[in-house]
Structure 1
Amino acid sequence: MDINIDTTRIRLSEDPRSFNLSKPTILFLHDSLGCIELWRDFPNKIKKSTNFNVLSYDRQGYGKSERFSETKRSKDYLKKEAEILARLIDILELRKVILFGHSDGGTIALLTASLYPKKVTGIITEGAHVFVEKETLQGIREAKIAYKTTNLKDKLTKYHRNNTEDVFRMWAETWLSPSFLDWNIENYLSNIQCPSLIIQGENDEYGTLEQVYSIVQKTSGKSESLIISNIGHTPHKETPALVIDKTTNFVLNL
């Protein structure tokens, strides 16, 4: 299903008109190279384990949504995505919204809960960033090499089609820009009042556990961490059973 937010066409994974709005809705926010399809069956497994509504969407420029309207991102692009998400929640008239965000999506979840606390009941993040680390930049540099020398571009093209070059370039150029080195959203965290579950792989190639510690320590609402040994940046793919179990317990107790 497509929906227009202002002048931008966004692709939704489900038709929310079929939702039982007396139940919570878990809204899945994809990572910097992701889209609806790359969540695969994870949202439906969460739906089965919780009996909640589940919804994901392709942000502008990703998957089957409209192409980027700009050729260069601003430093506050994630804050702008939080503002778009808040508009989406209002347009769909969603209540009892729980945000599940991976990587960039996790940061968007944090910003949304900070800027619009009344719209968010709880948040789960995986590999979210609140400041720039050398590990993040090194991971992106290695991804740039893989994009040129392996089949990574072909894999992404399967999902992003004609948007692929822009998706990858906008991500890499923004984070590797010298002007982005001091990007930091820690000052937003104290405004987060809802409970949060902060998940990260111990061997996350895009960030250290300092990200987790900062989020848990600085949020005002009850915040708990889940640090998983021997995995990297995508816990819901690397240890799906554990993430489903912990997520289910967390949301059922909100």
Structure 2
Amino acid sequence: MPETSPVNVEEAEWTIPVEDGRLFAKTWTPQAPGAERAAPVLLFHDSLGCVALWRGFPARLASATGRRVIAYDRLGFGRSDPHPGRVGSGFVAREAGHAVPALCERLRISDFVACGHSVGGGMAIETAARFPARCRALVTIAAQTFAEDRTLAGIRAARGEFQDPANLARLAKYHGDKARWVVDAWTETWLSPDFAQWTLEPALAAIRCPVLAIHGDRDEYGSEIHPRRIAAGRGTAHILPDTGHVPHREREDAVVGMIGRFLAEA
């Protein structure tokens, strides 16, 4: 349910060893009865994102849901170690098989809620499909399920914008000297011919938990076909009016409230 009064949230930072380096993670634990027993929310960031770019959302979500919230920087992003090379066309599914088990082991997570923004939503879907007995619920925010023309057009436009050193410098505030790699990992992977046939349909067919798919009606990186595909026969698609690609920032109160109500009933 939506939060009715502020709940103190305790923050902690973690280092997670994985095959190719170390991941940076952060947790927000509400100081409320039952918080340690409830399945925590595992956040997957978008193509240019990191823990810091979730801003105040994780703390708000922890307070509203009474659950621990966990966010981490993928390898090559934010405060995690540099990625050793190219991410490859299978990077969305690979995250579920490589990073998630390491996070669960280090943070002693059994069951969890998978929640992701944009391509992170795809990673949340792959995680829910890979761990059907452990994933208690799935939330996607502005996720894509295939390489739609609208998505690719938005990425081409962004690739041109990042030729401006000022735009790259703004991204470097969060990713340091990994910023150029971060941009290329997004644009060159999605625009590669190898990625053209990518789809989440097999993963969606394997999901067994309740689903909430949140999307903005003005999302420049994906039409409403995506949340409707994600939710079809599995849950609810909620389309936010006058909202673009970052609903949890543009309409934070609404998104926190929706997720809180969904998890209270899941």
Same fold (TM over 0.5): yes
Match status 1:197 vs 2:183: no
Residue of structure 1 in register with 2:59 after alignment: 44
Structure 2 runs not aligned, ≥5 long: 1-13
1:84-131: CA deviation from partner (whole Å, max 9, x where unpaired): 213322342213311110011100000111111112111110111111
Residue of structure 1 in register with 2:87 after alignment: 73
Match status 1:226 vs 2:235: no
Residue type of the partner of 1:184? T
Match status 1:5 vs 2:18: yes
SS of aligned partner of 2:70: strand
State the TM-score, normalizing by the size of structure 1. Answer: 0.93
Question: Which runs of structure 1 show a deviation greater than 4 angstroms over 4 or more consecutive aligned residues?
Answer: none
SS of aligned partner of 2:48: coil
Residue of structure 2 in register with 1:251 after alignment: 263
In 2, the alpha carbon distance for the partners of 1:52 and 1:59 equals 22
Q: What is the number of equivalent residue pairs in this alignment?
A: 249
Q: Among 151, 154, 169, which residue is 1:139 paired with?
A: 154
Aligned-residue identity in percent: 32
Structure 1 runs not aligned, ≥5 long: none
Match status 1:166 vs 2:181: yes
SS of aligned partner of 2:162: helix
In 2, the alpha carbon distance for the partners of 1:20 and 1:242 equals 22
SS of aligned partner of 1:74: coil
SS of aligned partner of 1:47: helix
Residue type of the partner of 1:231? T
Residue type of the partner of 1:4? P
Change (3 A) 1:247 1:20: closer
Shift of residue 81, structure 1, vs aligned partner:
0.7
1:207-246: CA deviation from partner (whole Å, max 9, x where unpaired): 11111121122x6xx4101101111110001111100110
Shift of residue 7, structure 1, vs aligned partner:
4.2
Residue of structure 2 in register with 1:126 after alignment: 141
In 2, the alpha carbon distance for the partners of 1:86 and 1:105 equals 16
In 2, the alpha carbon distance for the partners of 1:52 and 1:14 equals 10
Structure with a larger share of its residues in helix: 1
SS of aligned partner of 1:204: coil
